[in-house]
Structures are given as structure tokens and as C-alpha cells.
Structure 1
């Protein structure tokens, strides 16, 4: 165990089948088996996750560990922190229980740390695979990282362990977005390198309408992040300093149009036209992919409904955290 150089931390919850595939991809690494360990950090699953992992522990020659965490704190932050605290490697890699990593994944990360001596972390490409065509009444959720976009998402990121300890690990206040928030803190200590050949496939998630709406609630955590890092508001060039994207402008135009309609004002017609223009600006004419314009027009009900819900969550969070950031 004293030879362990890299520790791979995987949080999991009730995904024993996909977790097994993730582990098998990590077993198939080009990096020497005796130099890395895998820590499966179970967020108190109620399925057969424990049995699946312990069965693999008996069969494999790899350094596979199982950690079961019982905590009232919600979200994977405390699970990943448990893995970090029990790890042996000087480099900590993160992926998720619905990911398949490339065969040279660990080797590529280690080589980048050797190449970039001052780097605090390395992150790479994430490509979502699969579709939801055979699952009607669901909405696909993708996790794609194709460039150096500053997301630092945990399906595919490595950090020096000492850096993680220095910045205080993952913030357990953050039920969602804790990986991005951690990256913001680490960037203040040093660079996080983007390496395109550090490659991971992420399985698509087909969410029910209920799950999709529940997921929108994570907007509140974006506001919490900006309240913790107010300097990022200027750095990210928020529209008018408080609008994260164009959607809030579209939602405000809807509210204004409806208000003037109720008041019986002739300004309603003018504001209604403005609303149409802002919808086109926000959701249709967003790139040069002309073939998608018709479908985006037809998606008007879905986009509008989601925008209004997201706006309300962000407004609520802005009041709660005393930081005006509207989504």
C-alpha cells in the first residue's frame, strides 16, 4: 500500500449496476495496478451496492476499498470528503458511478502533473452517451465538457491531495455544484489544466418531469456560490451585473406583458412583441445551426415554463443569501 500514488474516489447511491461498469473501466487502466487505489464511497445505498463492491474486492487484484457513509448532510460533498480523508495517494482523481473512463485515464492525468509542475489540478473531456428516445415523457440531462470551460466537474477531474486539504475539501453546504465551487477555490491557489485526451464517457440521465423540475432547484446553489465568491460575478461578466444569462430578461418581459394586459394598457402589445423578440434572442437564434431553429420555436412551452421556475428559485435564493443573481 505504501506504493499508492493515485487514489480514485467514486461517490455512489443506489446505482450498483452502472457502478460495476465504472469500476471495470478503472480496473482496465494502463497505469500500474500497485500504484493506484479505488475508494467507493457509498452514501448509505439501499440496493445491493455493498454486495456488488465486496464481491469485486474478493475477485480483483486491484486496491479496491468500500466505505459506507451515514450522515444527515445531503449531497455527495461529505461522501467525497470521506474518500479524500481515507485516501493514500498524493493525487486524488474523481469520477461518478455512471461513467466509463478511458484506458489511459490515470496515466494521462499523472503525466500532466509531471508536465505542469505548478498545476493544482487536471480536468478533461466528458462526453454524454445514450439518448432518451425509448423513454417517453422524460427529459435528457447531459454532462458534456468539450473545452476548457472552467466547470471542473467531478466525472473527470484530478487534484493534488495537499491542495484539497489546504482549501478545506468540498463544501458540505453545497448539495449541488460543489465540484465547481471547489474548483473556484483551488484556482485561487494555482492553475487547473484542461487536457482534452483525459477522456470520460458519462451515461445520459433520462429524468421524469418531476425529477427535472426538482433538478431546477439546484439554481439556488448557483446563487449560494456567488454569495461565497462575489468576485466571480464581475469575472463571469454577468449581464447588467446580476443576470447570469438571457433567460431572466425573457421572464421579466413575460411578467411585464402580463401585468400591462391585466391593467388594460395598450403598452401590452408593445411588450408582447418585446417578449417574442427576447424569446428568439434567448432560445432560438443562439448559434448558426439553422436546422434547429424550427424545433426551438416549437419548444416554446417547455423553455418558458423552465425559465420561469428557474427565475423564481434564483429570486428566492437571492433574497435568502442577500446576493442578487438571476437565472
Structure 2
């Protein structure tokens, strides 16, 4: 079995010990697996052992993309898996990722599941991950999420590290860059995680979508052709005067799968609100498009 590295950017997560425990209980052979936690651990929940390494970072590496890049440069694996610090992998998560790589896939994304107890958290998850729900079909996708992603190291060596100039949407940019480099993005719904973010209040949901908008829009404009971004997205005023229509269109796309509507129809008003908030964030901080130099990794570099 080839060496496998699981990289988790951590920001004082209260779930990180559960995440690590879930990884150690995988049905796959874990003898060649290393778990690299990169970031900060103020609660002291990361316990290092023969499988787990903790790489502390300073303020200069506050973004998740910086932490993932440090993890990549530290990792020894031929297959790199990415998991967020608020995501609990299913017992067969690793098994399904590795199966797809064994079938020849180079980039594999998995499904996102979540709880229904908190209405705002549920609506936030539906709005963000509607296209990665476990009942959506396995297929080639236009982009994937680093909350649940596996990549052959050779892909990163060719395409480069994650962009470090964005607070959000760095995974959108990175996986679209994979496509531009000639690699296909494969979605395997059986490789599932349970997403449990701390976005369970109006203020936290508001901040999430306001922060998400400028970077997501920047990427969508940078890769307008690959992402089929509508031409009108280039006009700032649309996100103010046209916000109700933009939000309605985005909400309709969110519920376009019949099972999504059947399961989560009651979140529709809150999902629509997240789209309106996103429009406000896009208008407030309309992005300037610039080309950033891409960095290739040095496999021998250790941080």
C-alpha cells in the first residue's frame, strides 16, 4: 500500500479529537497512513503518537490554505487527503477514496452529510453543500471541496500549491486549476463526512456568507469560461439592485435535485437569506481580478 497522508487544518477545534478518533477507526488498512494536524490547538486536544503529528503555525499561517500547504510540504504520502477540523469521516471514508484512486482517479471528492437539530446550521449546510449531498450521483464535477478531498501528489506537483491570497474559496480555485491542468474531478458519494460547523446563530451565518462572497466571486470571474459564470456577474450593481433575482436563481439551483427539496424544503427561506447575504457581501467587497503566481511544491521541504 502506498503511503497516505491525511491533512487537517486546525483552528482550536473542539471536535478535533473526535475527528482523529474517527480516522483511527477506519475500515481501511491504516498501517501506511499518517495524520497531520496543522495550525493551533488551544484546547490541547491533539495527542501526537506514531500516526498523528501536530505542526503548530503562527499568525502568518492563519488561513486554512496556508495550513494545508504546510501539510502538503510536510507530508510523505503519495496520496494526499484533506479533511476539515469540523468534519467527522464515516468509517469507510478512506476505503472509498482509496478505491477510486485504485481505479485510476487522480482527484476524488466525497459527500457531505449533516445534522438537522439546529435550523440555521442546517440551512447553512444545505446552501453550501447542496451539490455534494450523498444522494447526488457519482460523476465528474466542475469543482470539489477540500473539506473532503483526496489528490494524487503528482497532480499538486504539476499544478501547484493552494492559493494563499484568499480567505475563502481557495478550494474552488485549486480544483478548477486542476481541471485547467488536464485532470478530471471525480465525485464519490460513498466517501462521506459529517459536517458540524459552529454556524448556528444569525450572526455566524451572516458572517460566513458575507466573507464567502468576494473570494468566491473573484474565482468565478477568473475562471469564467470553465465555471460558466454568467457575463452579468461582472457588474457590481447587479448584486445590489438585482439581489432578489440572483438569490432566487441560486436558491432554485440549490433545490434543483428532487431529494434535496423533499428532505430540506423547510430550509428554503433561510437558504434564500444566505443567498441575499452573499449578494450583499459581493456588492460590499466587489473583487478586483488579478493573476497570482502559482507555487510548485518542493517535495523535500519540511516546515
- Category of TM-score, reference length = shorter chain: 0.7 to 0.9
Instruction: Map Cα deviations across residues 36-80 of structure 1 (whole Å, 9 max, x no partner).
Output: 1100112x34x22xx3212xx35xxx5111110114244111101
The correspondence for 2:215, drawn from 198, 221, 229, is 221
Instruction: Map Cα deviations across residues 117-152 of structure 1 (whole Å, 9 max, x no partner).
Output: xx321111111224325x8xx885215312455331
Question: Which residue is 1:129 aligned to?
Answer: 115
> After alignment, is 199-208 or 24-33 more displaced?
199-208
SS at match of 2:21: helix
Structure 2 distance, partners of 1:311, 1:293, is 26
* Superposed CA RMSD: 3.6
The answer to whether structure 1 residue 82 and structure 2 residue 82 are counterparts is: no
What TM-score, normalized by structure 1, do the two folds share?
0.71
CA deviation after TM superposition for structure 1 residue 238, in Å: 3.0
Structure 2 distance, partners of 1:200, 1:304, is 24
Structure 1 distance, partners of 2:3, 2:12, is 29
Question: Which residue is 1:242 aligned to?
Answer: 232
Aligned 8 A contact 2:110 2:148 in 1: yes
The answer to whether structure 1 residue 102 and structure 2 residue 90 are counterparts is: yes
Matches within 5 A, 1:1-327: 5-15=3-13, 17-42=14-39, 44-45=40-41, 47-48=42-43, 51-54=44-47, 57-58=48-49, 63-116=51-104, 119-133=105-119, 140-142=123-125, 143-144=128-129, 145-146=132-133, 147=136, 148=139, 149-187=141-179, 188-215=181-208, 216-227=210-221, 229=222, 232-239=223-230, 241-243=231-233, 251-252=240-241, 302=273, 306=277, 309-313=280-284, 316-317=286-287, 320-321=288-289
Task: Flag structure 2 segments of 5+ consecutive residues without an equivalent.
Answer: 292-303
What TM-score, normalized by structure 2, do the two folds share?
0.76
Q: 1:197 to 1:106 in 2, by over 3 A?
A: same
Task: Flag structure 1 segments of 5+ consecutive residues without an equivalent.
Answer: 255-274
> How many pairs are equivalent?
275
Instruction: Map Cα deviations across residues 176-201 of structure 1 (whole Å, 9 max, x no partner).
Output: 11111110111223122221211111
Q: Which has the higher contact order (CA 8 A, sep 6+)?
A: 2
Structure 2 distance, partners of 1:36, 1:292, is 37
Question: Which residue is 1:267 aligned to?
Answer: none
Instruction: Map Cα deviations across residues 202-260 of structure 1 (whole Å, 9 max, x no partner).
Output: 11443433333332122110233245x3xx31343333x1339xx97584258xxxxxx
Structure 1 distance, partners of 2:204, 2:189, is 31
Q: 1:63 to 1:233 in 2, by over 3 A?
A: same
SS at match of 2:15: helix
Aligned 8 A contact 1:141 1:204 in 2: no
Structure 1 distance, partners of 2:272, 2:102, is 50
SS at match of 2:172: helix
Aligned 8 A contact 2:78 2:152 in 1: yes
